[in-house]
Amino acid sequence: MNKSIGFIGLGIMGKPMAKNLLKAGHTVVCYDLNENAVKEVMEAGASAGKSLRDVAERTDVIITMLPNSPHVREVVLGENGVLEGAKAGKILVDMSSIDPIVSREISAAVSKKGIIMLDAPVSGGEPKAIDGTLSIMVGGPGEAFEKVKKILEKMGASVVMVGDIGSGNVTKLANQIIVALNIAGMSEAMVLAAKAGVEPEKVYQAIRGGLAGSTVLDAKVPMILNRNFKPGFRIELHIKDLLNAINAAEGVGAQIPLTSQVLEIMQNLKTNGKAQNDHGGIIQYYEQLANIEVKKNQ
C-alpha cells in the first residue's frame, strides 16, 4: 500500500519531485508559502496542508525540500512546525542540501519524540527532478531507509545509502565541489578556445568523448553556446553549498583551496547581479576577464 506523503517546499526542485510522487500513485499533502506552487501541485492531484503541523499530522512520511539549514530547522522545530504534528514512528526525510552538522542536530531533536530522520539531498538539477532521474544520497538508520527507498526511487534513478545521519549531506557537499570545479575548468578551457580563435562548439565535440568528457560538460556547454543561463541550479544556491562545504571542511580539518577560489568567483558574479543565473554562468567571469563571449558561430 502506498504511504501518504507530506511534501514541504515546492521550489524549482520540490515541485516536480512532488508531482512524480503523485504520478506514482502516492497520496501527497503539500505545503509552501508560494500559493501558485501549491495550486499547481494540487492540480496534479495533491491536497494542501493548512500548516506545517497539519501536514505532519496527516501523513506517514514527511519530506522537506528547502533552501538551507535555517529553513529546515524552523520548519521542523519551529512553532506549529513538523515536530508538533508528527507522532512517534513517523519518518522525516530532509532532501534539502544543508550543513551536515545541522542535520545531526535536527535528528537528535526529533528522535526524542520517536521520529526517525534521514538526510537525503539530491543532485541533477531541475531537468532530472522533472524526469525523476535524480541522484539521491542518503544518511540515517538503515531500517528507515528501507521503508522509504521505493518512495525515493520514484524521484531518483540512483538512490544510495552512504552512512549515518549527516552522511547524505557530506556526500552532497563532495558532489557540489566536483560540479563547481568542473564548471570552472570547462569555463577556462572554452574561453581559451574562443580567445585563440577556435570555434568552441567544435572544441566541445572533439573532447567530449575523451577523458575530459563529463556529465557537466554535456549539460552546460550547449547552454552556454546558446547563451542560456536560465537556472536549473542557481549560482546563489551553489554559493550556499560551497559555504557549507568550507564550514564542514574546517570542522574536520580538511583543506579545500580550489573550492574557496571557485566560491570567490561565484560571489563576484552574485555582486554583479548574476545570483539567479544557472551555475553554468560561471563562464561569464572568465569571459569578462578575457573580453570575449563563448557562443555558437552565427
Residues recognised as catalytic: 172
CA-CA distances (angstroms) from residue 218 to 175, 195, 233, 237?
A: 17, 21, 15, 21
Q: 64 - beta bridge partners? A: 8, 94
Name which of 123, 126, 180 is nearest 157 in CA terms. 123
The alpha carbons of the chain give a radius of gyration, in whole angstroms, of 20
Q: How many CB atoms lie under 10 A from the CB of residue 36? A: 10
| Grid cell in block for residue 42 | 494540487
Distance, in Å, from the CA atom of 174 to the CA atom of 101, rounded to the nearest integer, reads 15
Amino acid at 107: S
Number of Cα atoms under 13 Å in the Cβ half of residue 216: 23
| Grid cell in block for residue 70 | 535555517
CA-CA distances (angstroms) from residue 153 to 119, 148, 170?
A: 15, 9, 21
